[in-house]
């Protein structure tokens, strides 16, 4: 009986620790140029949620998922895909739906 409990505990801890590796935390900032106007865009990650701010004001909220170095962000009806850096201190938007695709190529860097 003790062996089964120990094995269950080890499996559960492994799942918890694996899940922790698939989360981001903190603020990542990039600069987006729309119609020759540069705007500071910040994505704040907390748990599985993301909040987007532009020029310091909250504009939207959504969720995100990580699979390896692929980051998928869903905000309202928009889906953004990005590549995470090896150290997870930055990511670059590789594609997005609709008007959000204007952010393609933008690199967001974590604030320290």
Instruction: Give residue-wise pLDDT tens across range 87-111.
Output: 999 999 999 998 888 889 999 999 8
Please tell me which residue, 15 or 67, carries the higher pLDDT value. Answer: 67
pTM here is 0.77
Instruction: Give residue-wise pLDDT tens across range 19-68.
Output: 446 899 999 999 988 778 888 999 999 999 999 998 889 999 999 999 99
In angstroms, the first-to-last Cα distance of the chain is 48
> Is the distance from CB of 84 to CB of 65 less than 8 angstroms?
no
Confidence of residue 12 (pLDDT cuts 50, 70, 90): very low
Taking CA atoms, 6 is separated from 13, 14, 18, 20, 73, in Å, by 11, 12, 18, 21, 37
């Amino acid at each position: 009986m003790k062996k089964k409990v120990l094995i269950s505990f080890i499996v559960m801890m492994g799942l918890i620790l694996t899940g922790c590796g698939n989360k981001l935390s903190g603020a990542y900032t990039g600069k987006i140029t729309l119609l020759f106007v540069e705007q500071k865009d910040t994505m704040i990650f907390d748990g599985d949620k993301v909040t987007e701010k532009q020029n310091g004001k909250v504009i939207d909220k959504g969720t995100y998922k990580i699979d390896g170095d692929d980051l998928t962000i869903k905000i309202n009806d928009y889906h953004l895909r990005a590549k995470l850096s090896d150290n997870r201190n930055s990511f670059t938007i590789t594609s997005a739906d609709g008007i959000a695709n204007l952010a393609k190529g933008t690199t967001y860097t974590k604030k320290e």
